[in-house]
Amino acid sequence: MRLRDKVILTCLLTALLSVLAISALSLMISGDFVRKEGAADLTAVNSRRANQILQWTSNTSRQLEVLGQMPIIHEKLSFELEQAGSENRAVITELLETIVEKHLRPALILGTFSELFLLEVPSGKILASTDPKQIGKMQGSREYFIKGQLGTHIQNIFYSMSIRQPTMVVSLPIGGNNALPNAVLAGRLNLSALSDILREWRGLWQTEDSYLVNNQHIFITEPRYGKNFMLRKTVYTEGVNRALNRQNGISWYKDYRGKEVIGAYQYLDDRELALITEVDGDDYLAAINKLKHSLYLSAILIATLSLVIGWLVAKTIVTPLTSLAAAIDRISSSNLKLEFEPQGAGKELITIVNAFRKMIQGLQTTLVSRDQLQKEVEQRKIAESDLLVALDQVKRSNAELEQFAYVASHDLQEPLRMVASYNQLLAQRYGPQLDEKAQKYIHYAVDGANRMQTLIQDLLTFSRVSTKGAEFGPVDFQEVVSTAILNLEMLIEESGAQITVQNLPTVSGDGGQLTQLMQNLIANSIKFRSEAIPTVHIEAQRQQEEYIFSIRDNGIGIDKKYSDKIFVVFQRLHTREEYPGTGIGLAVCKRIVERHGGSIWFDSAPGQGTTFSFTLKRHAAA
């Protein structure tokens, strides 16, 4: 899930959960309250109607009783009827007319009764009535007549064929004794009053519906949502059933329409009727439903609002992050720039951006260093390869040169020997015939040739150091020195030189060349001797992986300024006359030492003797 969706969803869920929790709580509390209050109210409405009905019936009874107590009825009529015979028939007729015209008809104005009439006992014949059509009718079998003889009686609503409509009759006895009155006074009730009581709308519920049901489960008043139900339709709803079972209460059930209602039911013992007051379930719960609707509405509003807020918040957070991500995506090694302006971003984001910037700067530096190093490495690689090429060329030219020197010196020897030989032959055979000058010239030529031969041989020797060197192996330097001394035996004897040797080790090297090295150095020490008897001391000192050999003499010494010149081939510090030689000895020494991977140098001062030193690698086993 994307961050934006998460933020929006979180906002939405938080809002909805709170709204739902509050809604549920308020619905629970208020719903309970409304239900209880409503139930109490509905019961109260029903009870009040019951009281009104009872009050109405007792009022009607009282009104009829008042009429019945009138002296003209209670005494006069009663008396005349008791005396009834052919002689007082006219009196009775007149009396009845007076009663109807003066008392009963005016009583109708009150509206309680639609008809008032007097019935003869025991026949039940109507003696007088406010409705002339009814006079003479015989109602002896009617309940109101039979029971009206015993006391005030109210007959519940029934269908009267006499007037062909539903009616309710109050009746009471007139005169006589308890068992047999002289007449019955009856009044048909104006049922609109009953309707008014049942229809009186209290305004609490729109669908309030009150009606009466008799013991036969028959509607005896028109319910609000019924037409022609009165005395026609039976009703067996839970409310009616309970009321007819003499229960009072309130309950939820389906009414005569099959609609869910809450109904208060009550049985009117005096009237033997069930009184029901019902309210449609949805109307009854209208307050709760209203609350529910407003809660739903607010939930929707809050949800919408939280969606918007969530979207805005998500936008504030996500948009800079997205652009930051895009900006970071654009960063590459070639483009180390964070092109991002944290507009409208929070402090935290700015901190992140700054951190990124720092990181990128660090990266930039690192990358620059890396680039330089790479460049250097590349340059060095090129240089190295150039160097290798050059080295190779140098090696090749060096070898060629050495080869050339060797070949040249070797091949030059033969014609030179011929020049010297033939010049000597010329001097021997024709010497006496030649003048002194010619002989002198020949001597120069021979001398030159001999010197050249020496030079060439020295050159050959020098070149042979590199070209004809033997394999390295363990060399006992004591032996080397001994061989050198043996080779120089004549010179040493001749000069009376004293040679001392100390601690000479075994080294790795070319034994022949090392012998020549020592031979040259010892010879030089003796050759450039001072007036004193020459002494030569040879020793070696170990220093890490190599030995430093030193050959110290007490000769004429060498000026330090010739330290560069002295190891160069054919360089001489003295004339040939002072010290004979070609000047190749030390050059050969240097070459031998260098071939063995060492170095050579000297310490000296004129007249102080000279110490030549060189280094050689120690033999691995030593």
Partner 1 sequence: MRGHTFFFILLLALLLTTSACDQQELPPARVSVKVQLKWVHQAQFVGFYIALDEGYYDEENLDVTLFEGGPAIDQAVALHSGTVDFAVLPAEALLIKNSTLPKMVAISALYQLNPTVFVAKSDSGIINPKDLTGKIVAVGKMEEGGFLEGIIQFKAMLKNTGVAFDSIIQADYDPQYGAFINGAVDVTPAYMTGGVIKLQNQGLNLNLLWPGDYGVNAYGDTLATTDTYIAAHPDIVLRFLRATLKGWQKAIENQTLALATTMKYAKIQDTKLQEAMLDIQAPLVSTGDTPIGWMKQSVWQNMGELYKDSGNEERSAESGTFYTLNFLETIYGPQK
Binding-site ranges for partner 1 (CB under 8 A): 123-124, 132-141, 143, 156-159, 161-162, 164, 166, 214-216, 218, 220, 228, 231-234
Cβ at position 159, least distance to partner 1 in Å? 4
Give the residue with the Cβ less far from partner 1, 130 or 610: 130
Residue 136: CB minimum distance to partner 1, A: 5
613 phi and psi angles, rounded to 5 deg = -125, 150
How far apart CA 113 and CA 129 sit, in angstroms, is: 12
CA triplet 123, 127, 130: central angle to 5 degrees?
Answer: 135
Backbone angles phi, psi at 249, to 5 degrees: 170, -160
**Residue whose CB is less far from partner 1, 215 or 365:** 215
139 or 423: whose CB is closer to partner 1?
139
Closest CB 145 distance from partner 1, rounded Å: 11
Angle formed by the axes of helices 3-68 and 286-330, nearest 10°: 170
At residue 506, what are phi and psi to the nearest 5 degrees? Answer: -100, 135
In single-letter form, the type of residue at position 387 comes to: L
Nearest to 606 by CA among 578, 579, 573: 573
Backbone angles phi, psi at 9, to 5 degrees: -65, -40
Work out whether strand 473-476 and strand 506-509 pair parallel, antiparallel, or are unpaired.
Answer: antiparallel
From the CB of 101, what's the least distance to partner 1, in Å? 19
Q: Report the nearest approach of partner 1 to the CB of residue 129 (Å).
A: 12
Question: What are the tokens at 552?
Answer: 């110290």
Whose Cβ is closer to partner 1: residue 156's or residue 316's? 156
Shorter beta-carbon distance to partner 1: residue 273 or 460: 273
Query: b/e per residue, 159-190, with b = 16+ CB within 10 A?
Result: ebeeeeebbbbbbbbbbeeeeebbbbbbbbbb
- Closest CB 18 distance from partner 1, rounded Å: 53
Instruction: Find the DSSP H helices in 214-346.
Output: 238-244, 281-284, 286-330
Using CB atoms within 10 Å of the CB of residue 494, give its burial: 0 to 12 exposed, 13 to 18 middle, 19+ buried.
exposed
Q: How far apart are CA 11 and CA 14, in angstroms?
A: 5
Nearest alpha-carbon partner for 426 in 451, 446, 404 = 446
Residue 349: Cβ-neighbour burial (10 angstroms; 0-12, 13-18, 19+): middle
Give the strand pairing for 113-120 and 126-129.
antiparallel
Neighbours of 564 (CB within 10 A): 8
Instruction: Give me the least distance between CB of 300 and partner 1, in Å please.
Output: 44
Question: Which of 48, 233 has the CB closer to partner 1?
Answer: 233
- Comparing CB distances to partner 1, the nearer of 159 and 404 is 159
Helix (H, G, I), strand (E, B) or coil at 268: strand
Smallest gap, in angstroms, from Cβ of residue 215 to partner 1? 7
The least CB distance from residue 245 to partner 1, in Å, is: 12
Tokens of residue 550, six digits? 């030193």
Select 158 or 472, whichever has its Cβ closest to partner 1. Answer: 158
Q: Which is nearer to partner 1, 129 or 610 (by Cβ)? A: 129
Q: Do residues 136 and 124 lie in contact, with contact meaning Cβ atoms separated by under 8 Å?
A: no
**Least distance from partner 1 to the Cβ atom of residue 175, Å:** 23
**What's the rounded Cα separation, in Å, for the pair 447 and 134?**
199
CB closer to partner 1 out of 10 and 156: 156
CB of 50 to partner 1, least distance (A): 20
Q: Which amino acid is at 437?
A: K
Quick one: 167 or 582, whose CB is closer to partner 1? 167
Nearer to partner 1 by Cβ, of 132 and 432: the residue is 132
The least distance separating partner 1 from the CB of residue 153, rounded to whole angstroms, comes to: 14
